[in-house]
A and B are shown apart, each in its own frame.
Chain A
Amino acid sequence: MSTDTPADAPTDSVPERYLAVQRSDEFAGLRRTLRGFVFPMTIAFFLWYALYVILSAYARDFMSTRLFNSNVNVALVFGLLQFVSTFLIAWVYSRYADRKIDPVADKIRDELSGGDS
């Protein structure tokens, strides 16, 4: 294990230990894993939602197009797709967090609290 983890230096003061962890490669990796997912995903769902709101305001003819020879139109399907995408993003994130984030976060935390005792 890298030597810059705080568990190796229990005599450090608490602020120094947090600083050391924050500067460690392991923590930088955790930060990258988290931000690399949540930032692009936030931008993506926000743009997708904004597209829906903008089309509702400015593309009424398109939104009013009937589909499948029924009373269902593009606006309704687009709205329902917002539900689908929300459920899907939530599910994908939870899988991602379980696999990529939790194990690293747990490891760093255990190392830190090891130094606490």
Chain B
Amino acid sequence: MNAMILAVEAGNTTARNLTIVLFLAFVAATLAITIWASRQTKTATDFYAGGRSFSGFQNGMAIGGDYMSAASFLGIAGIIALYGYDGFLYSIGFLVAWLVALLLVAELLRNSGRYTMADVLAFRMRQRPVRTAAAVSTITVSIFYLLAQMVGAGALVALLLGIRPGTTFLGMDADTAKVATIIMVGALMIIYVTVGGMKGTTYVQIVKAFLLMSGALLMTLLVLAKYKFNLSSLLGDAAASSGQGTAFLEPGLRYGVEVAGNATQTFYNKVDLLSLGIALVLGTAGLPHILIRFYTVPTAKAARKSVLWAIGIIGTFYLFTLALGFGAAALVGGDAIREQDKAGNTAAPQLAEALGIDFFGGDLGGAALLAIIAAVAFATILAVVAGLTLASSSSLAHDFYANVVKRGAASERQEVNVARISALVIGAISIVLSIFAQNLNVAFLVALAFAVAASGNLPAILYSLFWKRFNTSGAVWAIYGGLLAAVLLVFFSPVVSGAPTAMFPDHDWQWFPLSNPGILSIPFGFLCGYIGTVISKESDEEKYAELEVRSLTGAGAH
């Protein structure tokens, strides 16, 4: 054991208590906001879209809060800390992706839709098939994403509270604590959504974005101060401590790995890197929980402003993660991080502790900064799961119940009641699934969510907005085709079986060589949308005229 781990043990109790206090403070504050928001929530527009009363800046912050998940904060910092440069690839893909949303989707969607992604997809189509397909894909994407966040939350709490196999906390061992965390996170997200609706959820996300940016900024400044703002010496130290030398600062340790003497595997690894790159950049603009955020502002201009703010906030945050990741590699060291968590998810909290010890007077300072960052990480998870629950329950209520089951004849009150019940049901299902999924490798769930969003949702959205000929058959083909291709390719990939790191390492039905299906499933989704369209004669020129005029000018916008 090295000195860092000993310090972790010493500061553990203080950090643990402080983490719990700060976390409870966040929960209390957000619940108060939620109750306040519930008093302002009267109509369906209030519930689904926060009354469309948010400013561009507020929504930009909320988008940041919705988007910067624990996977970005802890995951990317961890990948950079352990594998160096390759973690940066994620940051870049996740940021550049916003240009798709800004240039092609945000404003047109805001102008022509009302509450859900399907409002735009079904605008000029037959309602029932398109809305059903959109609801299926919305709920699939959101639940994959939810599971990843909730399972991650369970693992994180056990790690951050320092509950290791054999030790207990409040009488709970590590496994019980994980289950308790999943249930607590699930219960809170259900409360935020059912009580506060979009308004409450948005404020939770704004508060979280503020906390996350502040925490990351503080740590970045401390790391840079430690190296007298000399980037080169930070990088040099990180490379030296990593044990990898300069390779740590170059692409290739984690993605697109060159396997000596195995040209086939090297080829697949590199194609897999391209595939990941494409899925990251095209997935964002197809994520339903991100798309519905554009409805919370009054106009398309405000939607544009909110994406501009989001790009600024998210971009700045990913620059911070670069400092956090290399800082953790340099100041904590790869071995100490792996000892806590082999995936590196605790790199950021461990860095916080090391910085606290260094700058704020020893163990107590270390415990304090660790507690702050741990509480920020919880807040991060809560805000994201609330956004996902809202997106899926909105789609279930507005698309499936109101427009498919009731064929558009449901009253506003009925619809909102169904949305609240849906949030409860989806939340409960996610809790149960997460408890069963908690020992599985969850990284693939996020990759899968992005791949489905890019392969099914994005083609349908882009065709809807820009292709006159597009029709019901095309929309249904694009969504189901892209969704099935992505899910099936992942199912037959080394992520699920046939590899030591797979979900089922003892089984082998793997034949698809890539971990990320994007490079095939995304073109396949676009192709399905094209074929589905041309084999159907349906074409509604008047409705397309209405969609195009409304989406470009904002006439008749809700």
Which chain A residues have a beta carbon within 8 Å of chain B's beta carbons? 14-16, 18-19, 21-23, 27, 30-31, 34-35, 37-38, 41-42, 45-46, 49-50, 52-54, 56-58, 60, 63-64, 68, 70-73, 75-76, 79, 82-83, 86-87, 89-91, 93-94, 97, 102, 105-106, 108-109, 112-113, 116
Q: How far is the CB of A19 from chain B (nearest CB, A)?
A: 4
* Bound form: Cα–Cα A49–B92 in Å: 9
Per-residue CB contact flags for chain B residues 518-542 toward chain A (1 = under 8 Å, else 0) read 0000000000000000000000011
| Contact A82 B95, CB 8 Å, known A19-B542, A21-B549 | yes
Contact of B553 among A19, A41, A83, A112 (CB under 8 A): A112
The answer to whether B555 and A108 touch across the interface, beta carbons within 8 angstroms, is: yes
The answer to whether A63 and B232 touch across the interface, beta carbons within 8 angstroms, is: no
* Bound form: Cα–Cα A71–B250 in Å: 10
Q: Does B99 contact A (CB under 8 A)?
A: yes
Specify which chain A residues have a CB less than 8 angstroms from the CB of B555 in the assembled complex: 21, 108-109, 112-113
The answer to whether A27 and B549 touch across the interface, beta carbons within 8 angstroms, is: yes
The answer to whether A19 and B541 touch across the interface, beta carbons within 8 angstroms, is: yes
Q: How far is the CB of A105 from chain B (nearest CB, A)?
A: 5
- Shortest Cβ distance from A41 into B: residue: B103
9 residue pairs A–B, Cβ–Cβ below 8 Å: A18-B550, A42-B99, A71-B239, A76-B88, A79-B88, A79-B92, A83-B315, A106-B554, A113-B556
- Shortest Cβ distance from B258 into A: residue: A60
How many interface contacts (CB-CB < 8 Å) are there between A and B?
A: 162
> Which residues from 190 to 244 on chain B have a C-beta closer than 8 Å to any C-beta of chain A?
231-233, 235-236, 239
Specify which chain B residues have a CB less than 8 angstroms from the CB of A89 in the assembled complex: 99, 103
Q: Does B163 contact A (CB under 8 A)?
A: no
Per-residue CB contact flags for chain B residues 71-110 toward chain A (1 = under 8 Å, else 0) read 0000000000000010011011101101110111001000
Q: Does B311 contact A (CB under 8 A)?
A: yes
The answer to whether A73 and B249 touch across the interface, beta carbons within 8 angstroms, is: yes
- B interface: dominant SS: helix
Contact of A22 among B246, B256, B315, B549 (CB under 8 A): B549
Specify which chain A residues have a CB less than 8 angstroms from the CB of B102 in the assembled complex: 90, 93
| Contact A64 B104, CB 8 Å, known A79-B88, A87-B311 | no
Specify which chain A residues have a CB less than 8 angstroms from the CB of B277 in the assembled complex: 49-50, 53
* Bound form: Cα–Cα A87–B256 in Å: 28
Contact of B104 among A27, A42, A60, A109 (CB under 8 A): A42
The answer to whether A38 and B308 touch across the interface, beta carbons within 8 angstroms, is: no
Q: Which size class do B's interface residues fall under? A: 35 or more
* Bound form: Cα–Cα A58–B104 in Å: 30
The answer to whether A42 and B249 touch across the interface, beta carbons within 8 angstroms, is: no
Q: Does B546 contact A (CB under 8 A)?
A: yes
The answer to whether A71 and B249 touch across the interface, beta carbons within 8 angstroms, is: yes
* Bound form: Cα–Cα A42–B246 in Å: 34
The answer to whether A108 and B232 touch across the interface, beta carbons within 8 angstroms, is: no
The answer to whether A18 and B546 touch across the interface, beta carbons within 8 angstroms, is: yes
* Bound form: Cα–Cα A19–B514 in Å: 47
Q: How far is the CB of A50 from chain B (nearest CB, A)?
A: 8
The answer to whether A86 and B99 touch across the interface, beta carbons within 8 angstroms, is: yes
> Which residues from 482 to 520 on chain B have a C-beta closer than 8 Å to any C-beta of chain A?
none
* Bound form: Cα–Cα A64–B233 in Å: 17
The answer to whether A38 and B104 touch across the interface, beta carbons within 8 angstroms, is: yes
The answer to whether A87 and B312 touch across the interface, beta carbons within 8 angstroms, is: yes
A-B complex: 10 closest residue pairs judged by Cβ atoms:
A70-B232, A53-B277, A71-B235, A22-B545, A15-B542, A18-B546, A56-B251, A38-B103, A109-B553, A112-B555
Specify which chain B residues have a CB less than 8 angstroms from the CB of A73 in the assembled complex: 249-250
The answer to whether B236 and A71 touch across the interface, beta carbons within 8 angstroms, is: yes
The answer to whether A45 and B308 touch across the interface, beta carbons within 8 angstroms, is: no
* Most chain B CB within a 10 A radius of its CB, from A49, A60, A63, A112: A49
- A interface: dominant SS: helix
The answer to whether B239 and A57 touch across the interface, beta carbons within 8 angstroms, is: no
Q: Does B146 contact A (CB under 8 A)?
A: no
Q: Does B329 contact A (CB under 8 A)?
A: no
* Bound form: Cα–Cα A64–B251 in Å: 8
Q: How far is the CB of A25 from chain B (nearest CB, A)?
A: 14
Specify which chain A residues have a CB less than 8 angstroms from the CB of B129 in the assembled complex: none
Specify which chain B residues have a CB less than 8 angstroms from the CB of A35 in the assembled complex: 466
The answer to whether B252 and A90 touch across the interface, beta carbons within 8 angstroms, is: no
Specify which chain B residues have a CB less than 8 angstroms from the CB of A105 in the assembled complex: 300, 552-554
| Contact A53 B273, CB 8 Å, known A42-B104, A79-B92 | yes
Specify which chain B residues have a CB less than 8 angstroms from the CB of A93 in the assembled complex: 102-103
* Bound form: Cα–Cα A96–B352 in Å: 42
| Contact A97 B96, CB 8 Å, known A27-B552, A42-B103, A86-B311 | no
* Bound form: Cα–Cα A15–B273 in Å: 48
The answer to whether A86 and B95 touch across the interface, beta carbons within 8 angstroms, is: yes
* Bound form: Cα–Cα A53–B556 in Å: 42
The answer to whether B100 and A42 touch across the interface, beta carbons within 8 angstroms, is: yes
Q: How far is the CB of A54 from chain B (nearest CB, A)?
A: 7
The answer to whether B232 and A71 touch across the interface, beta carbons within 8 angstroms, is: yes
* Bound form: Cα–Cα A14–B239 in Å: 66
The answer to whether A87 and B250 touch across the interface, beta carbons within 8 angstroms, is: no
| Contact A31 B103, CB 8 Å, known A64-B246, A71-B249, A73-B250 | no
The answer to whether A30 and B99 touch across the interface, beta carbons within 8 angstroms, is: no
Q: Does B433 contact A (CB under 8 A)?
A: no
- Shortest Cβ distance from B271 into A: residue: A57
* Bound form: Cα–Cα A27–B235 in Å: 53
* Bound form: Cα–Cα A94–B56 in Å: 13
> Which residues from 313 to 329 on chain B have a C-beta closer than 8 Å to any C-beta of chain A?
315, 318-319
